[in-house]
Every structure is written in structure tokens, then in C-alpha cells.
Structure 1
Amino acid sequence: MILQNFLLAFPLFFLVGLGFFSAKVNLIDFNVGKGLAKFAFNIAIPCLLFQTIRGASNLPAPDWNIGLGYFGSCTLVFLFTFLIGRKSFHLRGDESTVFGMSAIFSNNVQLGIPLAISLLGENCVPSISFIVSLNVFLLWVAVTVGVELSRSREASVWGTCFEGLWRTIKNPVIIGILLGFLSSWTDIGLPGPFEKSLSLLSASATPVALFSVGTGLSRYKLSSHIRLTGASIVLKLFIQPTTVFFLCLLFGITGIERQAACLLASLPVGVNVYIMAQEFEVIEGPVANALLLTTCLSMLTVPLMTSLFNFL
């Protein structure tokens, strides 16, 4: 089963490696890769989700308890990681907050959506759409409030929630999801030429998104902070998905919902965590290390963890 999942995932991770190699040997300029990432995030992936969701009206709604399993795990692992940062690594509160995010914030869009649809099929789309929609809002709000409180500033929780909600609503991926559900509900079709254009854009989403992940990784270089980086790797690739799995068992989440939640949880650190580290000017080196190494290692750990959870 592990070999089968590895072979299924290999072409997808090969595209990541190809993007990394192409940028490293200057086959393409890094700025080109950055443009591809914007194209994937702003256009191709929203089109893919729109097309998939509006054509999935016959699929049953996901088990909403998936939110308890996935985000319950995020809460538990974040608190655990925060305490490790404070007690074991003697990090400040704001540093521990970003360190905690490195253990739970996955690369759900560029890597997670293509992987989930390719490995689990279109039946997983309602589940991953639900998780992705809440993920940006909840985790950005949590990290902003946590950092501001740890720095002894007067954090406006309501203001932060509003900012997080606005950030979520204007996110192109969320717009694609919402429009897909609206189109499915109203059963409004599109003229033939538009359908063809959307199909072409949707087909480009997976290869472009994965290739752009590789080109983005080429800008990061390994630094010191070995212990902190190692802790992030173990927490993100092993502790987080394992916690999601057991919470899914606790809440009776089975089938495609549990598979989708565990797959997204086992993904590498998302680039948003590095953006957080830059924005708050804390532990940028360890986060860059974790971003690079978890992405490389996930080629092995994602098939391993998904196979283990399927077996259990």
C-alpha cells in the first residue's frame, strides 16, 4: 500500500522537484516561478475548484464534524508546540506563536488541493473546500492575536477577526469555492466557449501549482537552528496528522472525510508561515528550514502516513 501511494504521488512531487531544479540551474528565472505561483493561486486553482464543485452537485455534503477533527487537532498541536517553544527552546511568546503555526499550517492550496484530487478523487472536494475555507481565516486570526498579546500590545480581537474575514472573502481560492457552490445550487450553465476555456485553465492548475512550489523553494537556503527545525519537522509531518487521525476516530469521522483531513494534515509547512515569520520578524531561519525540508521529506512521509491511516 505504501509503494502504491508512493507511485501515485511520485509524478506530483516530481513536478515540484522539476520546478526546484529548473530554478536552481537557471533554466527559468525565479520571478517567472513567482508569476506561475500567482497564476496558479489567482486563476488556475480557483477555476479548478469552481469546475469541480459545480459538477459535484450529486455528491453528499461532508460530515461537518471534520472541522472538529481537523481544527481540534490544530488547537491541541499548537498549544503543545507553543509550550515546547517556551519551555524547551526558551522562545519568546511571539516566537513560540509562529513556531506553533509551523506545526499546523499546511500547504493546503498549491500542494494540498492537487494532491487530494489526484489521490482521493473528486469525492473529496466538499471536505477539502470546507477545511481550506476556514483554514486561512482561523489560523491568521489566531496567530495575529497571539503575537500581539505576547508583545504586550492591546490586541483588538474584533478588529483582527474582521481583518481575517476580509482576507478570507477576497481570497481567489475562496471565491472559486463559493462561486462553484452557487453555480451548483442555481444549476446555471455556461456558454460552450467559456466552458472550454475553464476546462483548459482547470487542467493547468495541478502542473503549474506544483511546479511553482518547487521554484519557490529554490530561494530558501538551509541555516543553523537544527534542533528547532527538527522539532518543526516531527511535529508537522507526524504529530499533526496523527492527532487528526485520532480525533477523527473520536468524533466518528470515517471514509473520504477522514482521508481528506489526514492527507491535508500530513502536508508540509505552508509558505504562509514564512510570511508570518517575516511580517512579525521572528524565527525566519528555522521556518525557512522547515518549509524546505518538510516539502522534500513529504514525498516519503505523505504516502507513509496515508497508508498507515488507511491500514488502521
Structure 2
Amino acid sequence: MWLDVLNITAPLFILIGLGYLSVRIDLFRYPELQGTAKFVMRIGLPALIFHSIAGQPLDKVFNPAYVVGYGGGALAVFAAGWLLSRSKNRQAGSEAAVNALGVSLSNTGFIGYPLLAMTIGTGEAGQYLVMNILIENVLILPLFFIIADAAQQNGKGWRENMLGILKNLSKNPIIIAISISILIAVLKIPIPVAIDKTATMLSTAAAPVALFVIGGGLAGLKLQGKLPDLIGIAVGKTLLFPTLVALGLWLAGASERMIFAGTLLACVPMASMFPLLAMQYGHEQRGAAAMLVTTCFSFFSISLVLLVGKACGF
């Protein structure tokens, strides 16, 4: 069990380490990697979202109890992260939005799904993958963009604020990809093979490139004075989020197997895109450092949930 978990989490650390080492030995300069980060944000991740949603029969994988329970837990921890950042630490609006996203957005595709597939099988795990992608990309990410963009519209009237937010959202490649993907899935429009293969290739490239860029951002990072905040994000992501998801699923009437799946997916670190999204609002080092600390914490929360699941026969 421990070796299985390590075999899945180790590549994450290795890719981050390669990015870190490449910058430290001057194989790359970090400003050079920022162009690569734009590729991931504007091309790779939208392609991943398109590939994950557009070709899926939503009516066959949509479970109301799971969506309500997991989505409610995600919204609750997002709100808690944002309110704590704003009230206790008096942080800027965009930084509070980044913190809230960090505790509520899981790396479902690249860590959560392999873990779940290893435990309950690829077919059933795939259903949870699609539902989580919908929850994260339809609910959590747009909420983050709205709050973060609103924070950058300070000093303007509410109409100007809303116009600025809508303008930014309409140009955001991730939001565009979400909208197109859901439309195609709902209308059951067939995807040409060439487009599907292109999206698959781009989505495959997105994860390792994103992790490499994250590692490069850690080079020269100083955590002095920031570690308590980073630990707070890590605890919120790996302890509070799974607890709220489990509670939400139980209240929604989900089965024990469904509660196990949702809790495990909530335990994994934040999505690979998190530091890149933080970078868009000027918090790249905070985002990268938070992901590093959370990834370390998540090994223990994942192992605990897997051990409990094994004891329950999952």
C-alpha cells in the first residue's frame, strides 16, 4: 500500500525537482520558463478540459448526491479559506482568492484519478473523474476568477467592475474551453478524430510541463515568515476539505463507497494549474510554495484514507 502511494506521488516530486534543479544550475532562467507557463495556461490546460468533458456522456456519469455533496464541501472550504484570509490576515483580495482556491481545488486528473483507479477500478473511477472536473471547472474556477478579477477592479463603480470581470472571463481560455466543452457534451456533438487526438496530445503535455515550471519557480524561494500561512493552506486542503466533503456527501445521502471516493479525491494536493493561476495575479512564489508544502502533507492524508478504505473493503 505504501509503495503504491509512493509510486504515484514520486513522479510529482521528481518533475518539480527537475524544474528546480534546471534553474539552480542555470540550464534555464526562470523568466524563460514563464513563456512555457503561458503555453500551459492558454493551450495545454484548456485542451485538457476539452478532452475530459466534451467527449463524455454526462447523463451516464452524473450523480446528484455526489455533485451536491462534493460541490457543497468545496464551496464551504473555499468560503472558509477566503474569509479567514480576508479577516484574520487582512490580505489583498486577489491573494485571499488564491488561498481559497488552494484549499478547494484538487489535482483530480493527475493524482486523484490514478489513486482511485488503483482502489476501485478504472471504470468507476472515471465516473468520479468526470463529475469532479465538472464541479471544479464549472463551480470553483469561475468563482475564483470572478473574485480575483473583482479585486483588481478596485476604485471603480459596480457597473465598471462587472464589465471588467465579464471582459476578463470572456477572454480566459479556461472559461472558453469549459463553455465549449459543456455545450458539446450536452448536445452530444461528435468530435472529429483529428481534433480529439490533438486535444489528447496537448492535454498529455500539460501536466509534466506545468510541474516543471512550478519547480523552476521554487528556485530561490524563501519561506521565512511565510511558513505558518503555507501550513495553514496545507492543513485546510488535506484535512478540512476532506472532512467537509465527507460530511457533505453523508448529508446528501451518498453511499459509503461514494463517500470514500470523494474524500480520497479531496485529500490530494491542489491542481497543477494552481501556481500558474496564482502567477496570473502576481502570487507565483506563494502558489508554488503552497503546493510544495501541501504535497508533503497530502502523502499522509492520502495514506490514511486509503488505509481506512482498505479496512472497509473498498
Q: With structure 2 as the length reference, what TM-score do the two structures score?
A: 0.72
Aligned residues: 293
Matched residue type, 1:300: F
Q: Could you tell me which of 86, 105, 114 is aligned with 2:102?
A: 105
Q: 1-side partners of 2:33 and 2:252: how far apart?
A: 41
Q: Deviations over 1:230-280 (max 9, x none)?
A: 43443343333333333332333455687357535642493345765x58x
Cα distance in 2 for partners of 1:27, 1:75 equals 41
Corresponding residue SS for 1:173: helix
Partner residue in 1 for 2:269: 267
Structure 1 residue 71 displacement after superposition: 0.4
Match of 1:72 among 70, 76, 81: 76
Question: Does the 8 A contact of 1:42 with 1:172 survive in 2?
Answer: yes
Structure 2 CA distance for partners of 1:139 and 1:215, relative to 1, 3 Å: same
CA distance in structure 2 between the partners assigned to 1:101 and 1:219 by the alignment:
21
Measured after TM superposition, the shift of residue 201 of structure 1 is 1.9
Any residues of structure 2 matched to 1:169-208 within 5 Å, and which?
Answer: 169-184=170-185, 185-190=187-192, 192-208=193-209
| CA deviation map 1:141-165 (0-9, x unaligned) | 44677899xxxx8785665455445
Q: How does 1:119-268 map to 2 (within 5 A)?
A: 119-120=115-116, 121-123=125-127, 124-142=129-147, 160=161, 163-184=164-185, 185-190=187-192, 192-218=193-219, 220-253=221-254, 259=261, 263-264=265-266, 266-268=268-270
Partners of 2:218 and 2:104 in 1: CA distance: 12
Q: Which runs of 5+ in 1 are unaligned?
A: 86-90
1:12 corresponds to 2:12: yes
Whether the 8 Å contact between 1:267 and 1:302 is mirrored in structure 2 is: no
Shift of 1:306: 4.7
CA deviation map 1:14-55 (0-9, x unaligned): 222222222222222323322222212211222222123232
Q: Among 95, 111, 115, which residue is 1:115 paired with?
A: 111
Sequence identity percentage: 23
What residue identity is the alignment partner of 2:303?
Answer: L
Q: CA deviation at 1:209?
A: 2.3
3-state SS, counterpart of residue 105 of structure 1: helix
Could you state the TM-score of these two structures normalised by the residue count of structure 1? 0.72
Q: Is the 8 A contact 2:54 2:184 kept in 1?
A: yes
RMSD: 3.9
